[in-house]
A and B are shown apart, each in its own frame.
Chain A
Amino acid sequence: MFRRILIANRGEIALRILRACRTLGVEAVVAYSEADRDSLPAQLADEAICIGPADARRSYLSAPAVISAALVTGCDAVHPGYGFLSEDETFAEVVRAHDLTFIGPPPDVLDRFASKEGTRRLLGGFGLPTIPGSDGMLRDDEHALAEAERIGYPVLIKPSAGGGGKGMRMVRTSRELESAIKICRSEAKSAFGDDSLYLEKWLDDNRHVEVQVAVDRYGAGVHLGERDCSVQRRHQKILEESPTPALSAEARATLAETAVRAVVSAGYENIGTLEFLVDGDGNAFFIEINCRIQVEHPVTEMLTGIDLVALQIGIAAGEPLGLRQSDVKLTGHAIEFRINAEDPAHDFRPGAGVIERYHAPGGPWVRMDSHLYPGYEVPPYYDSLLGKLIVWGPNRETAIARGRAALEELLIDGVITNIDIHRALLENDTFLEGRMTTNLLDRVGGAAFLAAAGARG
Chain B
Amino acid sequence: MPDAGPQRQRATGGASQDAAARSAAAARQADHESIDRLTEELLPALIAKLGTTHLGELEVREGDWHIRLRRPYGTAPGEGRRSTDKPSRSQPGHEGHGHGRAAPEGYRGGRGAGAGAGPGGPSGTTAGTGAASASTNGTGGGEERTLDKSRVIATSPAVGIFQPGARAASGTRVRAGDSLGAVNVLGVPQDVLAPVDGIVGATLVESGVAVEYGQELIRIELAGSGSAAGSGPAAEAR
Q: Is the CB of B101 within 8 A of A38?
A: yes
Q: Is B117 an interface residue (CB 8 A)?
A: yes
Task: Determine, out of A158-166, A200-208, A226-234, A372-380, the stretch whose residues face the partner at the interface.
Answer: A372-380
Q: Is A65 an interface residue (CB 8 A)?
A: yes
Check A375/B29 contact, CB under 8 A, given A37-B102, A50-B107, A52-B158. Answer: yes
Q: Is the CB of A47 within 8 A of B109?
A: yes
- Measured CB to CB, the nearest residue on chain A to B157 is A52
Of residues 87 to 124 in B, which have CB atoms within 8 Å of A's CB atoms?
Answer: 101-102, 104, 107-111, 117-119
Number of interface residues, chain B, beta carbon within 8 A: 30
Q: Is the CB of A374 within 8 A of B23?
A: yes
Check A65/B158 contact, CB under 8 A, given A45-B117, A73-B107. Answer: yes
Check A37/B119 contact, CB under 8 A, given A47-B109, A68-B158, A375-B22. Answer: no
Residues of A within 8 A of B118 (CB): 43
Residues of B within 8 A of A48 (CB): 107-108, 117
**CA of A37 to CA of B29, assembled, Å:** 13
Q: Is B65 an interface residue (CB 8 A)?
A: no
Quote the shortest CB–CB distance from B170 to chain A (angstroms). 26
State the majority secondary structure of interface residues on A: mixed
Residues of B within 8 A of A37 (CB): 101-102
Q: Is the CB of B186 within 8 A of A50?
A: no
Q: Is the CB of A64 within 8 A of B110?
A: no
Q: Is the CB of A68 within 8 A of B119?
A: no
Task: Determine, out of B45-53, B71-79, B207-215, B226-234, the stretch whose residues face the partner at the interface.
Answer: B207-215
Check A40/B213 contact, CB under 8 A, given A50-B159, A64-B186. Answer: no
Q: Is the CB of B159 within 8 A of A354?
A: no
Q: Is the CB of A27 within 8 A of B110?
A: yes
Residue of B104, B110, B185 touching A47 (CB-CB under 8 A): B110
**CA of A362 to CA of B140, assembled, Å:** 57
Of residues 334 to 387 in A, which have CB atoms within 8 Å of B's CB atoms?
Answer: 354, 356, 373-377
Q: Is B161 an interface residue (CB 8 A)?
A: yes
**CA of A183 to CA of B22, assembled, Å:** 44
Quote the shortest CB–CB distance from B102 to chain A (angstroms). 7
**CA of A65 to CA of B186, assembled, Å:** 9
**CA of A375 to CA of B109, assembled, Å:** 25
Q: Is the CB of A65 within 8 A of B213?
A: yes
A-B contact count (CB 8 A): 90
Quote the shortest CB–CB distance from A137 to chain B (angstroms). 32
Q: Is B25 an interface residue (CB 8 A)?
A: yes
Q: Is the CB of A374 within 8 A of B19?
A: yes
Q: Is A34 an interface residue (CB 8 A)?
A: yes
Q: Is A42 an interface residue (CB 8 A)?
A: yes
**CA of A45 to CA of B107, assembled, Å:** 12
Q: Is the CB of B23 within 8 A of A68?
A: no
Check A47/B107 contact, CB under 8 A, given A53-B213, A68-B159, A377-B29. Answer: yes
- Measured CB to CB, the nearest residue on chain B to A358 is B19
Q: Mark B194-229, 1 if CB is under 8 A from A, else 0.
A: 000000000000000010111100000000000000
- Measured CB to CB, the nearest residue on chain A to B30 is A354
**CA of A375 to CA of B188, assembled, Å:** 39
Q: Is the CB of A72 within 8 A of B29?
A: no
**CA of A49 to CA of B158, assembled, Å:** 11
Residue of A53, A59, A374 touching B22 (CB-CB under 8 A): A374
Most chain A CB inside 10 Å of its own CB: which residue of B19, B104, B210 = B210
Of residues 48 to 62 in A, which have CB atoms within 8 Å of B's CB atoms?
Answer: 48-53, 59
Quote the shortest CB–CB distance from A360 to chain B (angstroms). 13
- Measured CB to CB, the nearest residue on chain A to B10 is A43
**CA of A194 to CA of B211, assembled, Å:** 33
Q: Is the CB of A375 within 8 A of B159?
A: no
Quote the shortest CB–CB distance from B186 to chain A (angstroms). 5
Q: Is B26 an interface residue (CB 8 A)?
A: yes
Check A373/B119 contact, CB under 8 A, given A49-B107, A51-B159, A65-B213. Answer: yes
| Beyond A34-B214, A47-B110, A50-B212, 18 additional pairs, beta carbon < 8 A | A27-B110, A38-B101, A40-B119, A42-B117, A45-B117, A47-B109, A47-B117, A48-B107, A51-B213, A52-B159, A53-B214, A64-B186, A65-B213, A72-B159, A72-B210, A373-B19, A373-B22, A374-B19
30 intermolecular pairs with C-beta atoms under 8 Å apart:
A27-B110, A40-B119, A42-B117, A43-B119, A45-B117, A47-B110, A47-B111, A49-B107, A49-B159, A50-B213, A50-B215, A51-B159, A51-B213, A53-B213, A64-B158, A64-B185, A64-B186, A64-B188, A65-B159, A68-B158, A68-B160, A68-B185, A69-B159, A98-B186, A354-B26, A354-B30, A373-B22, A374-B23, A374-B26, A376-B22
- Residues on A facing B (Cβ under 8 Å): 27, 34, 37-38, 40, 42-53, 59, 64-65, 67-69, 71-73, 98, 354, 356, 373-377
